[in-house]
Amino acid sequence: HNMKWPDWPSTCGKPAIPPTINTRIVNGERAKPHSWPWQVSIQPNTTFFHTCGGTLIHKNWVLTAAHCFINYADELQRWRMCLGKHNLTYAEPSERCFSVLGIYRHEGFKYPTVPTVEFDIALVRLDGEVTPSQEISYACLPSIEEVLPGGKKCYATGWGDETGNSLNATAAQALNQVALPVVPYDTCKRTDYWWFQVKPSMICCGYTLPDELKSVCQGDSGGPLVCKDAPTDPWEVHGITSFGPIGCIMNKKPSVFTRSSAYIPWIENHAASGTSGHPPAKWFTSVSKISPWRKASCA
């Protein structure tokens, strides 16, 4: 993947500690510690509680969802990005937490002014350089406009709401993973699925029948959906967790992710210009702290 950025990582998508891939698991499960080494925990530093996930794609940059910064996007000192984490409840020798030099949300992201979470993508510039380790390394980006075939198995990871109670969401202590098959766009946009809420710049993943699925709570707002083309290929971040009927099993309501392959030029342009690019607009909203990803109605 020939990127325009300086110092693009020479290797990506190859965890030093390989994840446990069991195609039979439809429910979420505990991840093998540090087997998804690009997983980021995004924490507002008022309390340093985990609010969103992210994906490490470069020594200076984290890829995540724009909706994670509906609050405090212009207050960089409020945020920290933690790498090398498995259990959120205590400090781990492998962890490295960074302050933030910039938060760049996609200019097209207008939620909640406009009731769509299109363009739900953001880049976070770390204050410092990541030194890769056994527990910290990069995910690869997909090819421009690469669209995955229906049924392809991908993995969502995060410290999402383990209880499935979306009103009283609590982060899991240890990182979870869940295998999710891709739902084709033509299916996902049907009136009995997500209909007009899903756009071609999104990717749907999940099980479409309740008996196939117990819960996808293991994902995380802003966190990675990764897939690989062949068993020996590197892991690519194809999705950024955006929204879904989390906390309840709904027929024909798979989880919806921002399709990162639709935004490769945007990612390249923002990262290549370093920390330039316009500062994020101030957002004054009365949006609850619960992100769109947890908010979809179960009624």
Catalytic annotation, residues = 67, 120, 221
Q: Which residues pair with 79 in a beta bridge?
A: 44
Start-to-end CA span in the chain (Å): 43
Other beta carbons within 10 angstroms of residue 119's beta carbon come to 22
User: How far is residue 40's CA from residue 180's CA, in Å, rounded to a whole number?
Assistant: 20
Q: E strands along 45-151, which residues?
A: 52-58, 61-64, 79-83, 96-98, 100-105, 122-126
Cβ–Cβ under 8 Å, residues 259 and 201: yes
Is residue 259 classed as helix, strand or coil in its secondary structure?
strand
Long-range contacts of the stretch 111-114 (C-beta < 8 A, 24+):
111/66, 111/67, 111/70, 111/292, 112/70, 112/285, 112/287
Phi, psi dihedral angles at 16 (to 5 degrees): -65, -35
Name the token pair of 60: 């200076």
The DSSP H or E segment spanning 185 is helix 185-188
